[in-house]
Amino acid sequence: MTTPAATVAAQANDASFDTLWDELVWRGLVHVSTDESALRELLDGDPIVYYCGFDPTAPSLHLGHLVQLLTMRRMQLAGHRPLGLVGGATGLIGDPRPTSERTMQTKETVSDWVAKLRAQIERFLSFEGESAARMVNNLDWTSGLSAIDFLRDIGKHYRVGTMLKKDAVSARLNSDAGISYTEFSYQLLQGMDFLEQYRRYGCVLQTGGSDQWGNLTSGTDLIHRVEGVSVHAFGTPLITNSDGTKFGKSEGNAIWLDAAMCSPYAFYQFWLNTDDRDVVDRLKVFTFLTRDEIAEYERLIADEPFRRAAQKRLALEVTSLVHGLEATSQVIAASEALFGRGELSALDADTLASALGELPNATLARGTSVIDALVATELVTSASEARRAIKQGGVSIDGVKVASDDAVVEGSLPGGVSVLRRGKKALAGVFLS
């Protein structure tokens, strides 16, 4: 297979826009913000320091976080200096979920997750040059802070009535679960994060998801009260499908950035299966393609939807960003080989195994009959149906047509696995015990 290296977009902002802010708005990355005209002027002026926070409430980031990482990268490419904050302190508490309290993790678990998230974030930012990124941890300025000092220095600037009006808090107060004082206080900690970074690094802008807007404005309000200056924030929209489906950990369908939690093959297939109605928006948010390039894919969707050119480009771009070009090339090769456009025996064993894990599959003893394997993988409902399919010439194993009822599964593909096919599109994997 030809490597797709030449088709991966370079990381650069689109020069056809007058300002960075205009491009961010066009890409659909601004759902809510402080003063829009001031933000346009700020991002079009001298380099600023900005930040986004990531709490270690899981051992991996997901595609919702990827929106933030790519937004940060776009601003860095414009010459601004990012701070990537991993919440070693706020992660011990967790921001309020809409329906129930978070399960608190041990300090050791949170520390481990901090390291994992930091490593993921560092892959998306540059730590060299005049706009070099910096990683920070809010545990650095909270671990030695006493409760009395926190209440005196931070708590005195907050009004309970205002805190109660925050969407996340209001939702919980109206739920059966209620809200603990711990999670109620989360917005104070995030507000203090912005204040500390303003003082330490001159940070004047915070980004985050729009569902975090109450926490983002907690910081802008605190800095205005304490320092008497105006700083800014903007929130990106939540990623939903055209049918309103959300993606995320709380919805139980998160697309993780860690290959151990979502294989590169599964990750690629997720983007490849994007609905025609959603793919243009995804190209804007998750790739560095220009608006002219995206307009061409929009035309192809209308004129030649069966080619799924936009989905293929989207899957290539995002999987390459997250997992690298080499892994993406292997995934594309596996996808093509499974559907008859390449050699199964030439595939990487790990990629093939992860691909088969996404198909109907079964673990069987070596030498199991193909008939039993067809039944075990549910490509057929009975042995008699399996025999009929073989007789009709509609069954193959590892790319070779099965001609006899006596055929067995040998695991002849890399990694000692086999691929069963019935007809043109029904596939299953066999792992050998």
pLDDT higher at 7 or 346: 346
pLDDT at res. 3: 45
**Burial degree of 237 (CB within 10 A; 0-12, 13-18, 19+):** middle
pLDDT digits over 302-346, tens only?
A: 999 999 999 999 999 999 999 999 999 999 999 888 887 888 888
pLDDT digits over 270-294, tens only?
A: 999 999 999 999 999 999 999 999 9
Q: Is residue 249 part of a domain?
A: no
pLDDT digits over 94-103, tens only?
A: 888 777 778 8
pLDDT digits over 36-82, tens only?
A: 999 999 999 999 999 999 999 999 999 999 999 999 999 999 999 99
Instruction: Take residue 204 and report the two structure tokens written for it.
Output: 């004047």
Asked if 103 and 183 count as a contact pair (C-beta separation under 8 A), the reply is no
Q: Is residue 319 part of a domain?
A: no
Range of the structural domain that residue 53 is part of: 31-236
CA angle 69, 314, 30 (to 5 degrees): 45
Q: Is residue 282 part of a domain?
A: no
Region 154-176 average pLDDT: 87
Which among 201, 236, 271 is the end of a domain?
Answer: 236
Mean pLDDT of the chain: 92
Q: Is 249 helix (H, G, I), strand (E, B) or coil?
A: coil
Which among 169, 204, 236 is the end of a domain?
Answer: 236
- Percent of the chain at pLDDT above 70? 97
pLDDT at res. 2: 41
Q: How far is 67 from 89, CA to CA, in rounded Å?
A: 23
Q: Is 97 helix (H, G, I), strand (E, B) or coil?
A: coil
What's the structural domain count of the chain? 2
Q: How far is 235 from 171, CA to CA, in rounded Å?
A: 19
* Biggest distance spanned by C-alpha atoms of the chain: 83
pLDDT at res. 101: 79
Q: Is residue 292 part of a domain?
A: no
Q: What is the CATH number of the domain that holds 98?
A: 3.40.50.620
Q: What is the CATH number of the domain that holds 382?
A: 3.10.290.10
Q: Is residue 247 part of a domain?
A: no
Exposure string of 59-92, with b = 16+ CB inside 10 Å and e = fewer, is: bbbbbbbbbbbbbbbbbbebebbbbbbbbbbbbb
pLDDT digits over 412-424, tens only?
A: 999 999 999 998 8
DSSP sequence for 18-31: SSHHHHHHHTT--S
Rg (CA), the chain: 25
The residues facing 397 across adjacent strands are 400, 420
Q: Which residue type occupies 128?
A: E
Q: How far is 373 from 407, CA to CA, in rounded Å?
A: 10
Q: Is residue 316 part of a domain?
A: no
DSSP code for 79:
T
Using the predicted structure, report yes or no on whether residue 215 has a pLDDT greater than 50: yes
Q: Is residue 93 part of a domain?
A: yes
Of 341, 84, 339, 373, nearest to 206 (Cα)? 84
Task: Locate the DSSP E strands across 279-319.
Answer: none
Asked if 20 and 43 count as a contact pair (C-beta separation under 8 A), the reply is yes
Which among 198, 215, 236 is the end of a domain?
Answer: 236
pLDDT higher at 204 or 242: 204
CA end-to-end distance (rounded Å), the chain: 31
